Chain A
């Protein structure tokens, strides 16, 4: 599975957009970019995933560059409850479905 690189921490003001970057320069053609988050010590929570097109759901938007070597997760209006560790995971090889978590980005939303 391709390795991902994320900044260790970011801050965001409540109500503003949080833009979390991820580099995955070794991603292969059939691999997807997944985003999960972990609030305090709770179980990880799925947010969104994509292959090459931009994706949006009720939680977030995912922007993937044309060369697929990087992506950005956007929380359009961050709230205090969005404070969490966000993980960018490349997955989707057809012979494995395990998720490989890195250290993620610790997002702190402040009032």
Chain B
């Protein structure tokens, strides 16, 4: 069964450093998402991406964040200068369609980001 994969599973970084979290969505999917979950808290939407551009982003997704689909398979989340409060589990998701009755999103296993 096709699945979303994410690398690395755990990333430790120093405050102020740049990190890139990588995701390989399901191959025929067109819509891509990043969510995050701070330990013990809710899953929060960060950004959605379609047709090589951001379609929606949350207040969390400020200028320190960016997303890219550098080739036909990868989808990345970059945090330019990490802060302690960026420590969280980051989930990538993809879907074949979007909106209405087609909002079945497939989530990856997550990358645990720890900022020291």
Contacts and interface: CB of A to CB of B under 8 A. Distances in A.
Contacts, number: 69
B42 A43 contact: no
Nearest to A100: B45
B54 to A, nearest CB: 12
Interface residues of A, number: 26
Interface in A51-94: 51, 87, 91-94
Interface in B86-116: 89, 91, 93, 95, 98-101, 103-110
B43 A92 contact: no
Contacts of B56: 96-98
Contacts of A42: 109-110
A71 to B, nearest CB: 15
Interface of B: 4, 31, 33, 35, 37, 42-45, 48, 55-56, 58, 89, 91, 93, 95, 98-101, 103-110
